[in-house]
Amino acid sequence: MINIKKKFISYLIVAAVSLLFLNIVVDLFSKKKTKPDSRELSRVEVENIFWQVLDSYGVKAQWMVKKKYKDANEDSIKSQFFVSIPADIPIPLILKDINNIIEKDITAFVSEEKKIFGTTEVRVYTNELLKLKATLTPDKNLIRKKNDFTFVISNAMDLSDRKYTDFLQINFPVACSVVPDPDLIIKADSLSQYSKNYVILLNDNLSDPKMKLVQEYQKELLRSSIKNILTSFPKTKAVVVDEKSKLYNSPIYNFVCDEVKRRNYPVIPLSEFIDLETEENNELLSKFKFHAEDTVTSRSKVFYLPLENFVKVMPLIEKYKKQGNRILPFSSKN
């Protein structure tokens, strides 16, 4: 009986030791798996990260000069870079973006030394070895020739309360279209509190008798309607006309335009805006990219789109803004 107990105890000890050994092996294996994520960045990889970041800010290759570099204490690189950048690009943001990319390598870090006249020397080290040396110099004569974007949200006045709040909280100075209606006067008037503009849209949805513009009305009645519209929505930045509307194709159209212009409001055909109301995602993104990157035609682009499409193109808007494109309120066009 005693021998049986001894054997049983021996089995338990062997099992415990085996489990301990197994846990150690599993732990070592797990650590090995995580090592590739923290491997040391090569010189080429660091340089590629540097140029990737500069390119995202619209810095051109011709603004860079590569020169030989020799330092007895820093023999891990053979070249250094001198980069002239437009003065409107904040150098701290460039350094921050570089840091955000290389932070996965726990051995790497960026150092900077600011010199006179705004020149900044950037050094990137991994495992205490210098992998990149570059000098960034702001130059006010360098201009990033980009575009100006203005956005008009087509459905803001029809949104639910929650989505309308989302519209108001957009950080960009976007505008929206307003079809004249007495119920929208207070709502439109409050837009300026949120750094938003609006434009009046004349289409076939004008239903209030005091604001309707139909060819059955005599001139005095038309003048009265125009006056009611413009006094009710005095902060409008323009009067936009839908060319598909009955008004645009009626005999009274020229009279209405003249009366609006006489009150110092511009009249703009809706077709002058870039229509992004498509429901197809690929078509939406492709069309926006095409017009956003086009520098041959007008550099001032006005996009007309519903809120949901604006949200979809926001990542691209941020990208183009970073490259030097400007997001302007509709009021800046006048």
Question: Mean pLDDT throughout 7-32?
Answer: 53
Domain match, 160 and 304 both: yes
Domain match, 316 and 170 both: yes
Domain match, 133 and 152 both: no
Measured CA distances, 30 to 24, 104, 107, 205 (Å)? 10, 18, 20, 66
Q: What is the pLDDT of residues 245-277, one digit of tens each?
A: 999 999 999 999 999 999 999 999 999 999 999
Q: Total structural domains in the chain?
A: 2
From start to end of the chain, where are the E strands?
64-68, 79-86, 108-114, 120-126, 129-139, 148-153, 175-178, 197-202, 239-241, 267-269, 274-275, 300-305, 326-327
Q: CA 313, 315, 319, 324: dihedral to nearest 10 degrees? A: 60
Q: What is d(CA 102, CA 106) in angstroms, rounded to the nearest whole number?
A: 8
Question: Mean pLDDT throughout 304-311?
Answer: 97
Domain match, 154 and 112 both: no
Domain match, 246 and 118 both: no
Question: Mean pLDDT throughout 146-153?
Answer: 95
Does residue 106 fall inside a structural domain?
A: yes
pLDDT, mean over the chain: 88
Domain match, 218 and 269 both: yes
Does residue 5 fall inside a structural domain?
A: no
Question: Mean pLDDT throughout 274-292?
Answer: 95
Domain range for 223 is: 148-333
Does residue 156 fall inside a structural domain?
A: yes
Question: Mean pLDDT throughout 153-181?
Answer: 96
Q: What is the pLDDT of residues 171-218, one digit of tens each?
A: 999 999 999 999 999 999 999 999 999 999 999 999 999 999 999 999
Nearest to 138 by CA among 153, 152, 117, 123: 117
The per-residue pLDDT for 330 is 92
The per-residue pLDDT for 198 is 97
From start to end of 169-249, where are the E strands?
175-178, 197-202, 239-241
Of 94, 121, 139, which closes a domain?
Answer: 139
From start to end of 217-317, where are the E strands?
239-241, 267-269, 274-275, 300-305
Stronger pLDDT, 105 or 162, i.e. the higher one: 162
Of 104, 119, 139, which closes a domain?
Answer: 139
Does residue 190 fall inside a structural domain?
A: yes
Does residue 308 fall inside a structural domain?
A: yes
Whole-structure pTM value: 0.80
4 — pLDDT class (breaks 50, 70, 90): low
Q: What is d(CA 12, CA 17) in angstroms, rounded to the nearest whole number?
A: 9
Domain match, 89 and 179 both: no
Q: What is the pLDDT of residues 56-97, one digit of tens each?
A: 999 999 999 999 988 877 778 889 999 999 999 999 999 999
36 — pLDDT class (breaks 50, 70, 90): very low
The per-residue pLDDT for 12 is 46
Of 139, 169, 187, which closes a domain?
Answer: 139
